[in-house]
A and B are shown apart, each in its own frame.
Chain A
Amino acid sequence: QQQVKQSPQSLIVQKGGISIINCAYENTAFDYFPWYQQFPGKGPALLIAIRPDVSEKKEGRFTISFNKSAKQFSLHIMDSQPGDSATYFCAASRTSGATNKLIFGTGTLLAVQP
């Protein structure tokens, strides 16, 4: 129940295309869903996050779509650029808990080809 499932494992997109990464969770107590971007040799960096009271959140070229009934959420990267090439992790957390620990998905390696 603590798992967050992420797909695809890897993704190749042409420059200017749309990258879509999907995640699913089981624990309905989760109420905070961030996406982290990680470049090789670096720590994860928060990209965008959403709470389940909204169905979509957009920040620049990055959009999270959230489907509470299906317990799924996805990251859309519009106009993908070579600089977006990185590993993307979805995560989930229960902010009412004592720790707010993050449960991460397995990651998606995105390669944007010029």
Chain B
Amino acid sequence: RKEVEQDPGPFNVPEGATVAFNCTYSNSASQSFFWYRQDCRKEPKLLMSVYSSGNEDGRFTAQLNRASQYISLLIRDSKLSDSATYLCVVKGGGFKTIFGAGTRLFVKA
């Protein structure tokens, strides 16, 4: 079983749609969680951290469920520019950083 698992997609949605991605992790001792965005053939960039209480940044909402060991990302009012791969990232104590393989999103006009 992979340490961090994501549905690879692709998710094809029209502009303005709401789309949600889930990610599961295997290590219950994981301490911090993030969503990164990676555009085609570019480097990953931090989208948002994920807090236990849930957090929102504009059209993006992230949730963490420690009991079920999954995190989620909700994108409202999708834009063409949201098309990218979304990487779920989990950290334990220290520097160990585990990336998921990513979920591909295509937003179409």
Instruction: Tell me, yes or no, whether A binds B.
Output: no
Question: Which residues does B use to contact A, with CB under 8 Å?
Answer: none
